[in-house]
Amino acid sequence: MFGVSARAAVGFHQDAAGDWVATLACGHTLHVRHRPPFQLRPWVTTEAGRHEKLGASFDCSFCEMPEIPTGARVYEQSREFDETSTPAALLASHRLRPGVWGRIVVLEGLLRYELLEGKVGVWILRPGVVGPIAPGLAHRVSPCGRVRFQLEFLALGPDESSKDPD
């Protein structure tokens, strides 16, 4: 599947459904549910248990996504897509050309982002968690129910802004 990076828990809160969520030092979040027999985390059900886990390491798969280089700038943005208007090309394996970076920005709902080459992985993107796309690596997206999202295309040099993003 894919590797994950260990990050320290800096806090806990409940989501809208009442499930516990760890806030990690990297800024990402991770559900830490206690749902026997599949998820065994009895410590999350008490304040003392959660307090003991502050500083504990949790795996953050979001930290394994590609990292957009410092200095990359947005030169083009797609129109907004939803679960019914997502182009077939985005649902199938496709690549950005060399030198072009992308960023998937979810405005509402959830979007599955699969990186099929390099650091292979699957992430569920939501508002506030963008999906960086590295140049030349095969990837695809698929809506998880109702969703609104758009794509941003980034370049490091001035010559990329005059080219087509795909």
Q: For the segment 103-140, what is each residue's pLDDT rounded down to a tens digit?
A: 999 999 999 999 998 888 888 898 988 899 999 999 99
Q: 13-22, 23-32, 64-73, 96-105 — which one is most confidently predicted on average?
A: 96-105
Beta-bridge partners for 7: 58
Please indicate, yes or no, whether the overall pTM of this predicted structure exceeds 0.85.
no
CATH 2.40.50 segments of the chain: 5-61
Q: How far is CA 39 from CA 35, 53, 160, in A?
A: 5, 16, 47
Of the candidates 78, 133, 137, 65, which has an alpha carbon nearest to the alpha carbon of residue 103? 133
CATH code of the domain made up of 73-162? 2.60.120.10
113's tokens: 């982002």
What CATH code is assigned to 5-61? 2.40.50
The predicted structure's pLDDT at residue 161: 43
Which of 7-11, 26-30, 110-114 is most confident? 110-114
Q: Provide the token pair at 96.
A: 């950005």
